[in-house]
């Protein structure tokens, strides 16, 4: 996209912004080769819906199946790289007085692209925690049993992510609400705006008068609340937007 494609109003608003908040979803990682949550599952996992596996009930019912699904996803994340959209957000952070990056993604790609202080609303698939104590476990004995057992209490280990039906981490939610309530500009990038409570943040920002910018190839429930709707892939739009707003 060229500079001509962006509204002069958007460019001047971003240049003047003191606090930009950004909410990202699986769409930001699509161009890294990670299928979005609503893309069809592949291979062995094609028979399952993510919503049916990403729950405490699924883990209780079949801990090995859920552990193996996350182990497969962890392996896939380790083989991909951040894309131009991730890097553009790390650059934006350098250009703005205050920048809050809230992500629903669990792949850690924002951090690998250089973003700091990332607020992980749904946890991080590269971390593992004890299913009983809730503490992050870095090392465990591989006995061939899956899921492996907590070295402290012997309970099964699980991914350190927020499953459907589970509360979001309190600190992350407080930080996300604070950023939403104080930012000048709220970006919603690569999310279908369906999963709560993250999906409400854009509407809250819009209702309090922040400028809301949506970046998504398709229309979502947030689009009608957005001040600017940039329709296209994040990996194309974001680098072009950075160049247009901060050319030096």
Which residues are the active-site residues?
Answer: 122
For position 197 contacting ligand BV8 by CB under 6 A, the verdict is: yes
Binding region for ligand BV8 (CB under 6 A) out of 15-23, 111-119, 143-151, 217-225: 217-225
The only residue of 36, 41, 98, 182 in contact with ligand BV8, by rule CB under 6 A: 36
The only residue of 220, 227, 230, 242 in contact with ligand BV8, by rule CB under 6 A: 220
Cβ atoms of 118 and 100 closer than 8 Å: no
* Alpha-carbon distances, residue 202 vs 154, 169, 205, 235 (angstroms): 41, 19, 5, 21
Q: Is 164 exposed, middle or buried (0-12, 13-18, 19+ CB in 10 A)?
A: middle
SS3 state at 124:
strand
Binding region for ligand BV8 (CB under 6 A) out of 112-120, 176-184, 191-199, 202-210: 191-199
Q: What share of the chain is helix, strand, coil (3-state, %, to 5)?
A: 40, 15, 40
Residue 194 Cβ, how far from ligand BV8 at the closest point, in Å? 6
β-strand pairing of 211-215 with 228-230: parallel
Interface mask toward ligand BV8 for 58-87; x: CB under 6 A: ------------------------------
For position 218 contacting ligand BV8 by CB under 6 A, the verdict is: yes
Cα-to-chain-centroid distance, residue 75: 18
For position 216 contacting ligand BV8 by CB under 6 A, the verdict is: yes
C-beta of 218 vs 248, nearer to ligand BV8: 218
- Please count the residues of this chain forming the interface with ligand BV8, following the rule CB under 6 A: 35
d(CA 124, CA 240): 29
Residue 230 has phi, psi (to 5 degrees) of -100, 105
For position 52 contacting ligand BV8 by CB under 6 A, the verdict is: no
Binding stretches for ligand BV8 (CB under 6 A): 25-27, 30-31, 36-38, 54, 104-106, 122, 161-167, 190-192, 194-197, 215-218, 220, 233-235
């Amino acid at each position: 996209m060229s500079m001509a494609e962006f509204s002069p109003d958007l460019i001047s608003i971003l240049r003047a912004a003191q606090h930009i908040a950004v909410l990202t979803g699986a769409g930001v990682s699509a161009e890294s080769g990670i299928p979005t949550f609503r893309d069809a599952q592949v291979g062995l996992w094609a028979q399952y819906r993510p919503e049916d596996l990403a729950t405490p009930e699924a883990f209780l019912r079949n801990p090995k199946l859920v552990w193996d699904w996350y182990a497969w996803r962890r392996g896939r994340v380790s083989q991909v790289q951040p894309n131009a959209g991730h890097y553009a957000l790390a650059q934006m952070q350098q250009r703005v007085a205050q920048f809050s990056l809230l992500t629903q993604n669990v792949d850690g790609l924002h951090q690998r692209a250089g973003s700091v202080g990332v607020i992980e609303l749904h946890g991080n698939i590269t971390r593992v925690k004890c299913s009983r104590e809730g503490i992050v476990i870095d090392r465990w004995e591989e006995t061939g049993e899956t899921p492996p057992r907590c070295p402290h209490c012997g309970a099964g280990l699980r991914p350190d992510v927020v499953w459907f039906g589970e509360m979001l981490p309190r600190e992350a939610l407080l930080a996300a609400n604070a950023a939403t309530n104080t930012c000048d500009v709220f970006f919603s990038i690569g999310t279908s705006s369906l999963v709560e409570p993250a999906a409400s943040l854009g509407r809250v920002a819009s209702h309090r008068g922040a400028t809301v910018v949506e970046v998504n190839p398709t229309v979502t429930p947030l689009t009608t609340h957005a001040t600017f709707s940039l329709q296209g892939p994040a990996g194309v739009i974001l680098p072009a937007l950075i160049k247009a707003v901060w050319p030096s």
